[in-house]
Chains A and B, each alone.
Chain A
Amino acid sequence: MKSHPVRQIGFLTLAALCAVASAAFARPQTKAPTPASAKAAAPAANPNFVKAIGNPNAPITMEVFGDFQCPACRGFFEGTVKQVIDDYVIPGKVYIIHRDFPLDMHPYARQAARLANAAAEFGQFEAIERALYDHQEEWSTKGNIDEVMASYFPPAQFKKFQAFESQHISEINASIERDRAMGMQRNVNQTPTIYITAHGKTEALPGGGVDYKLLKSYFDYLLRQ
């Protein structure tokens, strides 16, 4: 009997918290564009090294800080990104930007990134990204990237990638470093790290990749706004 007033106070506190929570849910939120988000949605500093898929004017931009030799990046690409391309990029709803974030623990990640940058210059970023991730196991142990990738592109085209890479190696390396520096500035500490920009606002998703169904429900929510 003694504890009744204490219990009443407790239940009143809980009721008040629930009321505050439901009021907050009911209140529509306003989302003001921020300068940080505008910066994130903007194209790369050097437009010649943009690795992107889709329409830049799409309502949603998904930036992926990735490493072509990272198994989690491969898992995210195979399980989520491919479906995002089919369901959201092709209809013009999502624009995907790849940012190079080669990790030091992966000895061939930079080499793969250089080839991807070269292929991107010929409008073949999506194709090289697919080939690198689809066949990651074939090249990631020995580093025989050119040998493996050559079989997935017409020889003349692949030679152009290689020639461009060797002629512009310093610019390509600088582009990779720019992406890395951008990631460090945004506290990227694992790959893949994903940023979503929509309605002038950029949000970081929990690192390590996201299930397609969860990402889809978030995209659908953003598109309904």
Chain B
Amino acid sequence: MATTAIPSETSPRTAAWPAALLVMGRVALGLIFLYAAYAKLHFEGEWHLRDYHFFFAMAIDSYKMLPISAVQLMARVLPWFELALGALLIAGVAVRWIGSITSGLLLVSIGAMTRAKILGLEINCGCFGNNEKLGTATLIRDSSLLVLALAVTIGAFLIRKGQNKVSS
């Protein structure tokens, strides 16, 4: 008598696809963050490793949110921080925590952009390079990135939770 195999909830096939989606999501997010860092360091056709922070500081300052000393510090650090986040996301290191930090960073950026839009500031976004005008399209794009970052973070937490259940 023939028997039909019923796939169990923990069969390798069903367990693999959320993990594969997570990998795709974090690699995509990582590449976008690497590009964001690259665009701040390389513009007008050349690398600006010695003076990138002057231009980025001007873009950050246009939001009129921080004192000049904080703007200058942020301008120096943020591109390298984005580079590190991108690399860690691609490498899959501490995805839950790196995903949380990435989501937080995007949330702060979107908050600043929304504030600038409400105040009617005609400024540059400073997201991918220094001369990208802030508009509704940039807000929608960055909000989509936030959704992706949140999906990666929540996915990483859920997968970890599932692994803990299996091992216990």
Q: Which A residues have a C-beta under 8 Å from some C-beta of B? A: 6-7, 9-11, 13-14, 17-18, 21, 24-25, 27, 29, 72, 187, 189-190, 203-211, 213-215, 217-218, 221
- Pair A25/B91 contact, Cβ less than 8 Å: no
Apart from A204-B130, A204-B131, A214-B72, what 10 extra A-B contacts exist at CB < 8 Å?
Answer: A10-B87, A13-B90, A14-B93, A190-B122, A203-B44, A204-B44, A207-B124, A208-B121, A211-B61, A214-B71
Interface residues of B in 32-87 (CB under 8 A from A): 44, 47, 49-51, 54-55, 57-59, 61-62, 68, 71-72, 80, 83-84, 87
- Pair A17/B124 contact, Cβ less than 8 Å: no
Q: How far is the CA of A217 from the CA of B55 in the complex (A)?
A: 11
The minimal Cβ–Cβ distance linking B70 to chain A, given in whole angstroms, is 12
Contact with A along B89-124 (1 / 0, CB 8 A): 011111000000000000000000000000001111
Residues of B within 8 A of A211 (CB): 58, 61, 68
Residues of B within 8 A of A24 (CB): 47, 49
Q: Which of B54, B71, B91 contacts A10 (CB 8 A)?
A: B91
Q: Give the top 9 A-B pairs by smallest Cβ distance, nearest first.
A: A10-B93, A10-B91, A218-B54, A206-B59, A206-B124, A24-B49, A206-B58, A206-B130, A208-B123
Instruction: Answer yes or no: B25 CB below 8 A from chain A CBs.
Output: no
The minimal Cβ–Cβ distance linking A7 to chain B, given in whole angstroms, is 5
- Pair B49/A29 contact, Cβ less than 8 Å: yes
Q: How far is the CA of A189 from the CA of B133 in the complex (A)?
A: 9
Instruction: Answer yes or no: B139 CB below 8 A from chain A CBs.
Output: no
Chain A residue with Cβ nearest B124: A206
Chain B residue with Cβ nearest A205: B58
Residues of B within 8 A of A27 (CB): 49
Instruction: Answer yes or no: B88 CB below 8 A from chain A CBs.
Output: yes
- Pair A25/B44 contact, Cβ less than 8 Å: no
Q: How far is the CA of A6 from the CA of B44 in the complex (A)?
A: 37
Task: Known A17-B84, A190-B122, A211-B61; judge A25-B50 contact (CB<8 A).
Answer: yes
- Pair A213/B83 contact, Cβ less than 8 Å: no
